[in-house]
Amino acid sequence: MTPESAALAAPAPRLAAGQRRAQLLRLGTEIFSARPFDAVSIDEVARRAGIAKGLLYHYFPSKRDFYVAVIGAAAHELREVTRPETGVAAEDRLRHGLEAYLGFVEHRAQGFRTLMQGGIGSDPEVREIVDSMRALFVGRVAAGMGVEEAPPLLRAALRGWIGMVEAASLDWLENRDLSREALAGLLTLSLGSLVEHATTPRDA
């Protein structure tokens, strides 16, 4: 046996528990961003990770648990990279936050697609992860406006805007025919129009 063939035959080095879990979550992000939940098998995940299926079940008791963990990891990363900067003027928070959001979309496209286009239907745990992320973003935008608790019309406007940001970002990833700056400008202008409409006093 040549040294080269011996190296190929040797088992891959073991990873620490945290490293292995992180590896599996990265792999799950890649797989679930390309195919829906029902089209993915645990056997495939284990094979691509180079581990026995039993080891995968050691970290995630079921395919659903694995999927929920992948969604949770993507949501956590998005929340962290868009965390408002301290010491930034209020008028700059939205711009910085939007730039960070679009940076995540552009450079972590697989994670964003997995988060937004999950194929597990109305699973309550997945829905809770995504809804809590959206509520956090609504709260951050409202806080940037100096609003502690948004009244109903403003709350509806902000939630609708978050939905627009998500849909426009997915369109951007799919078509790639719009510059990042143009998309950011569109989203900023649309928020301004919505907020103006939601906060303008009207006769009863």
Q: What is the pTM of this model?
A: 0.83
66 closest CA partner among 43, 91, 94, 93: 43
C-alpha to C-alpha distance for 25 and 33, rounded to whole angstroms: 12
Helices and strands (H, E) in the chain, number of each type:
10, 0
Is the model's pLDDT at 91 over the cut of 80? no
What single DSSP character describes residue 89?
-
C-alpha to C-alpha distance for 143 and 44, rounded to whole angstroms: 44
Q: For residue 137, count CB atoms less than 10 angstroms from its CB and return exposed for 0-12, middle for 13-18, buried for 19 or more.
A: buried
Distance separating the N- and C-terminal Cα atoms of the chain? 87
Task: List, for residues 188-201, the tens digit of each pLDDT value.
Answer: 999 999 999 999 98
Instruction: Provide the pLDDT confidence category of residue 119 given band limits of 50, 70 and 90.
Output: low
Instruction: Provide the pLDDT confidence category of residue 8 given band limits of 50, 70 and 90.
Output: very low
Please, what is the angle between helix 109-116 and helix 90-107, to 10°?
100
Q: For residue 31, count CB atoms less than 10 angstroms from its CB and return exposed for 0-12, middle for 13-18, buried for 19 or more.
A: buried
Instruction: Provide the pLDDT confidence category of residue 102 given band limits of 50, 70 and 90.
Output: very high
C-alpha to C-alpha distance for 75 and 77, rounded to whole angstroms: 5
Is the model's pLDDT at 43 over the cut of 90? yes
User: What is the CATH architecture of 68-199?
Assistant: Orthogonal Bundle (1.10)
